[in-house]
Amino acid sequence: MTAIRAAIKPTRRPGELGVHSVDRFHFAVPDLAVAKTFYGEFGLEVDEDGEFLAMKTRGNPHVWVTLGEGPRKKLGHISFGAFEDDIDHFSRRLQEMGIKRLDPPPGIESNGLWFRDHNGVPVEIRVAEKSSPNAKSVFAAVSAPPGVPGAVARSKASITQPRRLAHILLFTVDVARAIEFYSKVLGLRLSDSSEGNIAFLHGVHGSDHHLVAFARSSGVGMHHCSWDVGSVQDIGLGAMQMAKKGFVAGWGLGRHVLGSNYFHYVQDPWGSWSEYSADIDYVPATTDWASADHPGEDSFYLWGPNVPEDFIRNYELGN
C-alpha cells in the first residue's frame, strides 16, 4: 500500500508557493471515551496515542485528526502539508510578512513552522506527503441491470468507512480577513464565497473545491470535519449506522451548491458536526477555478431537508 502510494507522483503547479493539504488538525473534547465511540461508529479508526486519540481512515496509516481532552470542545491547531523544497520559502515569507514564529503547542512534537492566524488560531506548515487527492475522487452510482435486484437485505448492508478527510470548516470572526490571511500566507485560493458569511478555499497544487472553509461567527471554533465516501449509498448507510447507535441528530441527505457534494451531517455530542461527503468538485493543479461570490439564498444547498436550527451555532463561544 505504502509502495503504491509512493509511486504516485503528487500533482503540483510549478512556480506557486502554497500548502497542498490539510495534513491534520487538532481539537479538544471533554471526554475522549465518548469521542472514541462517536468517531468509531462513524467509520473511522480511532487509536489511543499517549494523551491523545488519533483518527485514521481504514487501510491508511495517515493520522487526519488528533483529539485531546479539555474542559469543553475547542478547536486546537491546524497543520497544513507542504512540499519539502517549499519550506524555506514559507519560512522567508513568514519573516517578510512579520509573522511571529511559535513553539509547537504542549505535547506536540513537530519541527514545522508554527504561527498564529489572523484570529490567533495556531497553524503549522510542515513537510508532508500530499494527502489531498491528485484527481477527482471516484464516485459510484451503480444501477442494477434489468432482472437483478439493486439493493441488498438490510441485515447485509455494509458499514460506511470514509476514505479520507475531505475538509474542515472553521468559525472565524472576519471571513474577508480569513481569505486574505490563508491566501497570502499559506497560498490557498478562494473557490467561492457568500456575502461575507462563508468562504471556501482550495489548494493550488490540486485539491477538492475546499480543503478548508470559514464561516462567520463572533469567535473561533470548529464547525465540522468532512469525510469522503464513494457514493450516495455510503452516505445513507452511514447516516443509518449512526442513528442505530443513537446519534440521530443530523442534517441530510442533501446536496450543496458550492462544492456540489452530496452530504449528511451527524451532530457530535458537543454540538459540532461530522459530514459524510461524496462527489465534491475538484480543482486540478492545471485549472484556475472561476471563483465568485454568491447570494446566500442561492448557495447553501441545492436540495435537502430543512436546516437544523442550531446548524451554524458556534458551541465554542464563551470558552
Which has the closest alpha carbon to 204: 82, 113, 25, 23? 82
Among 66, 119, 226, 272, interactor with Fe ion by CB under 5 A = 226
Q: Based on the shown chain and the rule CB under 5 A, indicate whether residue 132 belongs to the binding site for Fe ion.
A: no
Give Cα 171 to chain centroid, integer Å: 13
Please report, in angstroms and rounded to a whole number, the separation of the first and last CA atoms in the chain: 42
Minimum distance, C-beta of residue 257 to Fe ion, in the bound complex (Å): 12
Q: How far apart are CA 22 and CA 41, in angstroms?
A: 23
Task: Read off the amino acid at residue 188.
Answer: L
| Local structure of 31: helix, strand or coil | coil
Q: Residue with the closest Cβ to Fe ion?
A: 226
CB of 192 to Fe ion, least distance (A): 13
Name the segment binding Fe ion (CB under 5 A); options: 5-13, 110-118, 196-204, 225-233.
225-233
Query: How many chain residues interact with Fe ion (CB under 5 A)?
Result: 2
| Phi, psi (degrees; rounded to nearest 5) at 25 | -140, 165
Name which of 38 and 276 has its Cβ closer to Fe ion: 276
Cα angle for residues 221, 195, 289 (degrees, 5° grid): 90
The residue length of the chain stands at 319
Of 81 and 254, which has the nearer Cβ to Fe ion? 254
Shortest gap between Cβ of 313 and Fe ion (angstroms)?
A: 16
Q: What binding mask, one character per residue, do residues 78-97 give for Fe ion by CB under 5 A, x or -? A: --------------------
Rounded to a whole number of angstroms, the minimum distance from the CB of residue 102 to Fe ion is: 28
- The minimum distance between CB 6 and Fe ion, in angstroms, equals 29
User: Binding string, 255-284, against Fe ion, x = CB under 5 A?
Assistant: --------------------x---------
Residue 277 Cβ, how far from Fe ion at the closest point, in Å?
A: 6
DSSP structure class, residue 97 = T
Tell me how crowded residue 137 is: count the other CB atoms within 10 A of its CB. Answer: 17
Among residues 13 and 223, whose Cβ is nearest to Fe ion?
Answer: 223
Whole-number Å distance between alpha carbons of 305 and 2: 41
Instruction: Please give the residue ranges that form the binding site for Fe ion (CB under 5 A).
Output: 226, 275
